[in-house]
Amino acid sequence: MEAIYLIGFMGSGKTTVSRELARRLNVAVYDTDEEIIKMKGKSINEIFAADGEAKFRLLESDVLRSIPSNDAVIATGGGIVGLEENRLYLKNKVNVVYLHAELENILERLKDDDSRPLLRKDKLQSAEVLYSKRLPLYRGAAGIEIGTSGKPITRIVDDIIQRM
Ligand code: S3P
């Protein structure tokens, strides 16, 4: 089976959905953020603070290419579509699923979460800008779009399997 790539904004459920989807399909699961954390031995916040976002993006891009592209479900970081090289990479994959969540649901879900440097409380206004900027990039890169707002994980996973 060709790998299934889950893309979408921070807090749209990619990590949770990837685990359940991989369990249901009995394949491996990867998460680009987790791979980066393992590789660097630092949190995403620490990497952003020490090396900057541009360096993080290069790491993310390398990690995306290093993950097996068969028999796997791959949850990607919300900013993976920022680099054109990644958009092109994903365009060539058959199973790219955009998990679409409404921004208000995302902000509600992540209101007490400070693990995402681009979504800290002082950056909420820019989150709106980022969300609008990325929406067309996710849609352009994915062959399948699944709405996640208000749906339990099992339903989201059922929807993905049905659309494959
Ligand atoms: C980011 C999303 C995060 C993580 C980093 C940057 C982004 O991943 O890669 O904080 O730019 O949208 P999640 O989408 O898993 O939160």
- 3-44 pLDDT per residue, tens: 999 999 999 999 999 999 999 999 999 999 999 999 999 999
| CATH number of residue 81's parent domain | 3.40.50.300
Domains contained in the chain, number: 1
Q: What pTM did the predictor assign? A: 0.96
Q: How far is the C-alpha of 80 from the C-alpha of 86, rounded, in Å?
A: 7
pLDDT bin (cut points 50, 70, 90) of residue 100 is very high
Q: Whose CA is nearest to atom 15 of ligand 1?
A: 77
Q: What single DSSP character describes residue 96?
A: E
ipTM: 0.98
The CA 140 to ligand 1 mean position distance, Å, reads: 19
Q: Whose CA is nearest to atom 16 of ligand 1?
A: 10
Share of the chain above pLDDT 70, in %: 96
Instruction: Measure Cα distances from 105 to 29, 42, 149, 152 in Å.
Output: 25, 28, 7, 13
pLDDT(124) > 70: no
* Long-range Cβ pairs for the range 159-163 (8 Å, 24+): 160/4, 160/17, 160/21, 160/97, 161/21, 161/24, 161/25, 163/97
Identify the domain containing residue 90 by its residue range. 4-163
Q: What single DSSP character describes residue 43?
A: -
Is the CB–ligand 1 distance for residue 37 below 6 Å?
no
Region for 41 from its dihedrals, namely left if φ exceeds 0, alpha if ψ lies in -120 to 50, beta otherwise: left
**Encoded tokens for 133:** 């900027």
**Encoded tokens for 90:** 């994903």
The CA 19 to ligand 1 mean position distance, Å, reads: 17
Q: Which residue from 34, 116, 131 has its CB within 8 A of the most atoms of ligand 1, so it is best to mutate?
A: 116
